[in-house]
Chain A
Amino acid sequence: MRESRKCVLAVIVILGIFTLGAIGYWIFSADMPDGLERTMENAGVGEQEPVYKAPLDYGGDYPMYILMGAVGFFAVLISALGIAKLMAKKNETQPDR
């Protein structure tokens, strides 16, 4: 019970920090390329049409960015929880060698 409370607290803290940090991101970094994009720009290489069209993007404004961050956060959380739980379950059901 105490562990799950700790996890809920960690989720709230991380999402809180993300919400605040994203303000700085939108003010200072949103329109700028990252290291690889800058390298591509300098070499005159453009990004090609993606082979796969993702269902979501990170959003074009601050509220959407926060929402998409939360969507991604929980998608990763649930995926990692599922994979790790499956491994832990298999590990615990395996007989000692």
Chain B
Amino acid sequence: MHIPDGLMWPIIMAIGWGVAIFALAIALRKEKTTMTNEKVPTMAVLAAGIFVAQMLNFPIIGGTTGHLLGATLATLVVGPWAAIIVMSIVIIIQGFLFGDGGILAMGLNLANMAVVAVAVSAVVLRITKRIRTEVSVFSAAWCSVFVASLVCGLELAVSDMMAPGYYGITWTVSIPMMIGLHSIIAIGEALITISIATYFLRVYPGLMQNARRAPEATT
């Protein structure tokens, strides 16, 4: 879901930068007062793990692939504010070092994958906190990818409406295709997230104490 340069209407890209910078600034401010030395290695290993996990695309239908986004996993382990920072580091390194997603479009990529996906994860985890952990994690992971793809589809549609033929993709293609494909990719996301979360709960329950606090941290 890494948006390349030249695809989106420049105003949409500017809005993306605005959202990303605003959310990242709040996340850094919040974490500055709660970050502990114990959380540092967890956050670093988590970010690096999400980076390599995003390189492992899996096939879905019709010759299309998807990969783990990792927003729900990050939210579970370090909480939503730190998750925004974790996801941002991954996306910035992908863009600057490997050219994965455009530099001008990086604001939108950050907004979609580091802000929207993490916010959706945190909200769904909070809403579903009273039900079984597995169901809660599955729902959060699935919704995070689905909503992020819907937002990306809307950005493509608005870009097309504002500058048809120059930017974006018509809504009749962008929205159904983005949400159609990503609703399947999201199942992969949910299954991978649930496997890792279940493993952590069994082997490193201490690590997942942050996870249980994650939904509350949104208040």
Residue ranges of A at the interface with B (Cβ–Cβ < 8 Å): 3-4, 6-7, 10-11, 14-15, 18, 21-22, 24-25, 28-30, 32-36, 38-40, 42-43, 45, 47-58, 65, 68-69, 71-81, 83-85, 87-88, 90-92, 94
Please tell me the number of chain B residues within 8 Å of chain A, measured between CB atoms: 70
B169 at the interface (CB under 8 A from A): yes
Q: Within B123-172, which residues are at the interface with A (CB < 8 Å)?
A: 149, 152-153, 156, 169-170
Q: CB-CB < 8 A to A81: which residues of B?
A: 40-41, 44
**A58 CB to closest chain B CB, in angstroms?**
6
Contact of A39 with B7 in the complex, beta carbons under 8 Å: no
B35 at the interface (CB under 8 A from A): yes
Q: Which of A45, A50, A51, A83 contacts B89 (CB 8 A)?
A: A83
Which residue of A4, A29, A42, A68 has the most chain B CB atoms within 10 A of its CB atom? A29
Which residue of A22, A45, A51, A53 has the most chain B CB atoms within 10 A of its CB atom? A45
Contact of B59 with A14 in the complex, beta carbons under 8 Å: no
Q: CB-CB < 8 A to A33: which residues of B?
A: 63-65
Contact of A34 with B41 in the complex, beta carbons under 8 Å: no
Which of B15-23, B90-98, B114-122, B210-218 sits within the interface? B90-98
Contact of A51 with B104 in the complex, beta carbons under 8 Å: yes
Contact of B41 with A3 in the complex, beta carbons under 8 Å: yes
Contact of A28 with B6 in the complex, beta carbons under 8 Å: no
Contact of B45 with A43 in the complex, beta carbons under 8 Å: no
Contact of B52 with A42 in the complex, beta carbons under 8 Å: no
Residue of A nearest to B63 (CB): A32
Q: CB-CB < 8 A to A18: which residues of B?
A: 52-53, 55-56
Residue of A nearest to B182 (CB): A35
Q: Which of A53, A73, A83 contacts B48 (CB 8 A)?
A: A73
Q: Which of A3, A22, A54, A83 contacts B96 (CB 8 A)?
A: A54
B191 at the interface (CB under 8 A from A): no
Contact of A87 with B170 in the complex, beta carbons under 8 Å: no
Contact of B85 with A83 in the complex, beta carbons under 8 Å: yes
Per the bound structure, the CA–CA distance linking A73 and B174 in Å amounts to 32
**B81 CB to closest chain A CB, in angstroms?**
11
Contact of A45 with B97 in the complex, beta carbons under 8 Å: no
Contact of B103 with A39 in the complex, beta carbons under 8 Å: no
Per the bound structure, the CA–CA distance linking A84 and B38 in Å amounts to 10
Q: CB-CB < 8 A to B40: which residues of A?
A: 81, 84-85, 88
